[in-house]
Amino acid sequence: MTEPVSRTILLLDIERFSDRDDVEQAYLRRMLYDLTDRALERAGIDETRRLRADRGDAVMELIDANASVTALLRVLLTEVPAQLRAVNRMASRSAQMRLRGVVATGYVAVDEHDGWVGADLNHACRLLDAALLRQALRERPDDFALCVSDALYAGVVRHDHPGIPAADFRPVTVDSKNGPLRAWLHGSLPVGRDRQEDEDQDPDPDQDHGDTGEVPGGSGDRPAPQAPPSGTPTQGSPAPGPVVTIHGGTFSGGVIGGNQHGGISGGHFSGNVSFGERGGRDSGRGEGA
């Protein structure tokens, strides 16, 4: 394996490539390579200053670190979208090509099988496959969506070079199996991204819904049971007052004194029943327990 060498990394990927038949895929691959060659030539990067890897629906370029990154970014931001518009205007719908692109920088080594090895390259591939970048391209009328790594933004883009307006880039964080990756997306953020994330999240992450997924307090529109008022006996606790038997039914609760008149209706009680003392006697048909 060679020693790791600093490189500029360019990745371009065709949207919805697998939806096409073999003839259309062959055409799109040819168009992708032609477009990439023209873009790099316009940026002053000839074949002696780059290595290419074929990824089927994508192309990967390792570019000499001494080549101008600003020239490459200017071409990607202006000429590549114009080339795509010109090509797609003359192509049938099934043969139109839309691209996701990533530009990054980092150290990459080449092994004995001509494979490329490096954490910075892995991160660039994660950005290319990020759902956020895919969503950005789907929501845009343009045929190209570009993302740059955080290191490339800090070293080049943020300095607002001519033809590379830093204000047109938006900071983003994408998930990957290696953890969150910070990057910068050219153009507006995708609208559907936040909506989908909200749908995937628990409506109240602080609630423990258990295995059933039900919100505490019952199901449907039935309200949650309220706590009994202070002083009310709970189920299983002894009643603090006497129990009075009336017509075979049972009334339990606290002591009822004075001249109290209560109307009790339901399954076993009807009419008016008076509890309390009148002239030293209990009124009503009942016995104190």
Contact 43, 71 (CB under 8 A): yes
Q: What is the pLDDT of residue 6?
A: 94
Note the pLDDT of residue 179: 84
From-to residues of CATH 3.30.70.1230 in the chain? 5-192
What's residue 253's pLDDT? 46
Token readout for 81 is 């979208």
DSSP states of the chain: -PPPEEEEEEEEEETTGGGS-HHHHHHHHHHHHHHHHHHHHHTT--GGGEEEEE-SSEEEEEEETTS-HHHHHHIIIIIHHHHHHHHHHTS-GGG---EEEEEEEEEEEE-TTS-EE-HHHHHHHHHHT-HHHHHHHHH-SSSEEEEEEHHHHHHTGGG--TT--GGGEEEEEE--TT--EEEEEESPPPHHHHHHHHHHS-S-TTS--TTTTPPTT-STTPPPPPPPPTTPPPTTSPPSS-EEEETTEEEESS---SSEEEE--SSS--SEEEESEETTEE-SS-EE-
Whether pTM > 0.85 for this model: the answer is: no
CA distance 108 to 201: 37
- Per-residue pLDDT, 229: 52
CATH superfamily of 5-192: Nucleotide cyclase, GGDEF domain (3.30.70.1230)
Over the chain (289 residues), the average pLDDT of each successive run of 10 is: 92 92 93 95 95 89 96 97 92 90 96 87 94 94 96 97 97 88 96 50 36 36 48 50 46 45 44 46 44
